[in-house]
Amino acid sequence: MNFDWERVQEEAVEKLSRYLQADTSNPPGKEMAGARVLQRFLEKEGLATTLLESQPERGNLVCRMKGKDGLAPLILLHHIDVVPVEADQWEHPPYSGAVLDGEIWGRGAQDCKSLGIVELMAFLLLKREGFQPNRDIVYLATADEEAGGKWGVGWLLENHPQFLRAEYVINEGGGVGMIVGPKHIYTCQTAEKGICWLKLTFKGKPGHGSVPHGDNCVVKMAKAIERISAYRSPLRRNRTTERFIKGIAEEQAFPRSWFIRQLLNPLLSQKVEKRIPDPGFRGMAGAILRNTFVPTVVQGGQKTNVIPSECSCQVDCRILPGVTPEEIKEEVHHVLFGLRDYEIEVLQTAPASESPAENPLYRAMEKALKSLDPKAKMIPTMLTGATDSRYFRNRGSVAYGFQPMMPMDKLSEYLSRVHGHNERISVKDLLFGTRVLYQVLKDFCG
Ligand SMILES: [Zn+2]
């Protein structure tokens, strides 16, 4: 069907603005407020929804468009909760949903209420034209992603697994366009790093603060933190990152193309990385090529004049596919070689997750992008953090992070808005995402 896309854009803006006005910051979450907004949008079109409350006011919403061929479902996933704000740091109130100069403002405008509206609009357009998909298309909005998903996807898996059965999942974490040479490169997020959170405990001799001695655990810990933060783990090549780096290098002229390819060369990788001009891309490239170790929490001492006998620091370690907690502990011992009287404990761990980048859905995404942007090229990418996609990948579904946004020069600006102050999205990106996704669904489920 030929839609009036200007009208679709207006409607998407109105709906996102309304959705952003529901304060679903987590903690405490209160996703029910956002779920009810979405429920009203869906029910107004005659679609039946199911609202599932995992805890008081923690809402999850499901709406199913029945498929005719009985193929395993495709889920359109996003999370309703958002991270908290420092409201006094914002130029416009974070829960206003203000529309100004072609942008919609509010916490969640990027992460990831806009995806919720992009998916909703594509879903509604299919419904309005009487489209009959070959498989169920399930619109799924969940709670608690920002705190790990315990009361969202985690809870649904345990209590209502029938709603999560899917062969394919489209979720947050990819789709951003970058201008690279003559091409517009769009990412499809096919993999996410895992976590291995560590606690390092240091022991020493207690004593009076007025009498220095050589066995102070705080001093040992300071040395350890210094070494960990200076340490760069060796390059670990993996499928997704290799395709990502090569895909970008291919669009560059020599010698830049050669230079970028050296990110995959164990001898030159770190030197090349340091010379990447865009800080957003530099940080990301470094983190998808190796395991990372970032000291974050330190605890020790009670009183200025008491040398404690014990202190600890926590390290946020992010791991690549195939890396185990045992290998990570080994790596840290290696970094701290020569230091004594410490123990390493693994506080929490989750493996990295990866979906293959070759199947009909991936190809449909690439095709839809190219039909709307002739300069488009899509490459798989790895997220340095984690999303709810990991739950689905671990159960055998193919999950992709895909919310197409128009190409930008620098990643840094986009990255600074996610979880940052003054989060907003352009009206054009909202429409572009909707149009691409609508096309993907028509093609893939038609
Ligand atoms: Zn998110």
The alpha carbon of 212 and the centre of ligand 1 are apart by a number of angstroms equal to 48
- The pLDDT, as a whole number, for residue 206 is 97
Distance CA 125, CA 138 (A): 14
- The pLDDT, as a whole number, for residue 444 is 98
The alpha carbon of 24 and the centre of ligand 1 are apart by a number of angstroms equal to 13
The alpha carbon of 110 and the centre of ligand 1 are apart by a number of angstroms equal to 8
The alpha carbon of 281 and the centre of ligand 1 are apart by a number of angstroms equal to 19
Distance CA 324, CA 327 (A): 5
Start-end ranges of CATH 3.40.630.10 in the chain? 5-184+353-444
Query: In this predicted model, what pLDDT tens digit does every residue of 394-405 receive, in sequence order?
Result: 999 999 999 999
Distance CA 169, CA 191 (A): 13
Query: In this predicted model, what pLDDT tens digit does every residue of 344-353 receive, in sequence order?
Result: 999 999 999 9
Query: How much is the pTM?
Result: 0.91
The alpha carbon of 84 and the centre of ligand 1 are apart by a number of angstroms equal to 13
The alpha carbon of 260 and the centre of ligand 1 are apart by a number of angstroms equal to 29
Start-end ranges of CATH 3.30.70.360 in the chain? 194-233+291-350
The alpha carbon of 359 and the centre of ligand 1 are apart by a number of angstroms equal to 25
Q: How crowded is the C-beta side of 158, counted as CA atoms within 13 Å?
A: 7
- The pLDDT, as a whole number, for residue 334 is 97
- The pLDDT, as a whole number, for residue 309 is 97
Distance CA 317, CA 15 (A): 38
CA distances from 137 to 120, 180, 317, 429 (A): 11, 34, 36, 23
The alpha carbon of 299 and the centre of ligand 1 are apart by a number of angstroms equal to 30
Which SS3 state, helix, strand or coil, does residue 241 take? helix
The alpha carbon of 254 and the centre of ligand 1 are apart by a number of angstroms equal to 37
The alpha carbon of 268 and the centre of ligand 1 are apart by a number of angstroms equal to 34
CATH class, domain 194-233+291-350, is alpha beta
The alpha carbon of 25 and the centre of ligand 1 are apart by a number of angstroms equal to 12
Q: Which residues surround ligand 1, an ion (CB under 5 A)?
A: 111-112, 172
The alpha carbon of 82 and the centre of ligand 1 are apart by a number of angstroms equal to 7
The alpha carbon of 157 and the centre of ligand 1 are apart by a number of angstroms equal to 19
- The pLDDT, as a whole number, for residue 280 is 81
E strand spans, 172-235: 176-180, 183-192, 194-203, 207-208
The alpha carbon of 387 and the centre of ligand 1 are apart by a number of angstroms equal to 7
The alpha carbon of 145 and the centre of ligand 1 are apart by a number of angstroms equal to 7
- The pLDDT, as a whole number, for residue 411 is 72
**Stretches in the chain below the pLDDT threshold 50:** none
The alpha carbon of 385 and the centre of ligand 1 are apart by a number of angstroms equal to 10
The alpha carbon of 419 and the centre of ligand 1 are apart by a number of angstroms equal to 9
The alpha carbon of 112 and the centre of ligand 1 are apart by a number of angstroms equal to 5
CATH class, domain 5-184+353-444, is alpha beta
The alpha carbon of 146 and the centre of ligand 1 are apart by a number of angstroms equal to 7
The alpha carbon of 364 and the centre of ligand 1 are apart by a number of angstroms equal to 24
The alpha carbon of 258 and the centre of ligand 1 are apart by a number of angstroms equal to 34
Of residues 130, 155, 133, 134, the one with CA closest to residue 144? 155
The alpha carbon of 180 and the centre of ligand 1 are apart by a number of angstroms equal to 26
Relative to beta strand 405-408, strand 176-180 is parallel
The alpha carbon of 80 and the centre of ligand 1 are apart by a number of angstroms equal to 9
The alpha carbon of 171 and the centre of ligand 1 are apart by a number of angstroms equal to 9
The alpha carbon of 117 and the centre of ligand 1 are apart by a number of angstroms equal to 14
